[in-house]
Structure 1
Amino acid sequence: MDSFSDARASKSFGVVALTIVEGDVEQWVLSALEQYNIDTASAKVSPYVKVTLLKAYIHSLMTSMAANVVLKVEYLPEKSEQNKIVYVRGHEVDVNWNSGEDEILVTLNKAMGKAISKARVELDKAYCS
């Protein structure tokens, strides 16, 4: 992967009940990308891929919480001279038992995983066909 950037205006993840959700966003995204086999350590061994985090937020709704993640993925398909850009969204709704940090993180991780899975489909089409 060539680069990652966080393009969100607010660097907070939002609010669940009375809890303001914050964290190390760059480490969170890079770790998630690596779990889905998108090499973030070196641009030399992987094709050109640039990931931008456009949205990542969570909010509570009565007894549930909803997380959304939107990524912009720019890549250069094989045998092409023009970059391709795709926007992918991951969304997850879970029960909010006690607004705990662990359950908030699990919900955000599920939303991130869904977004990366969609990006992975696009990258597989470009590089593994």
Structure 2
Amino acid sequence: MTNSVESKKITLNNPKDMTMEEAQSLAEKIAYVEAGVKKMKEHLKMFVELNGPVEVGDLVWDKHPSQSWQWTTEAKRSFAEMIAIEGMNPWEYISFSSADLKKLGWSDSVISQYAKSKINNSFRSKKKDN
């Protein structure tokens, strides 16, 4: 069984000449395409789980491993000590993630006494605040 995909023509106007309505239409089309890509990836993932990797050109769609590390409090301390024993400054290698800092429950004004804030603006969509 095949699913038909509704075709939507995408016309890109010069951003300087676009109206708000044209920009909104473009944003709707982007959301539509991204939702479609997400659904297609879910289907391809199920196929790969059932049948194995899919090769297309120089790409291989499969489950590829990624590595992360889980640290106990004691292990973090020992690791920092080993870096120092090697003659390096452990604080040049150890960082604090935003998620970890949020767990502290401290305000930005408290954290800013110790660290410089860096704000990155990434172009993406997000849900409206209600």
Q: Structure 1-normalised TM-score? A: 0.21
Point out the structure with the larger strand share. 1
The structure whose Rg is larger is 2
Point out the structure with the larger helix share. 2
Q: Structure 2-normalised TM-score? A: 0.21
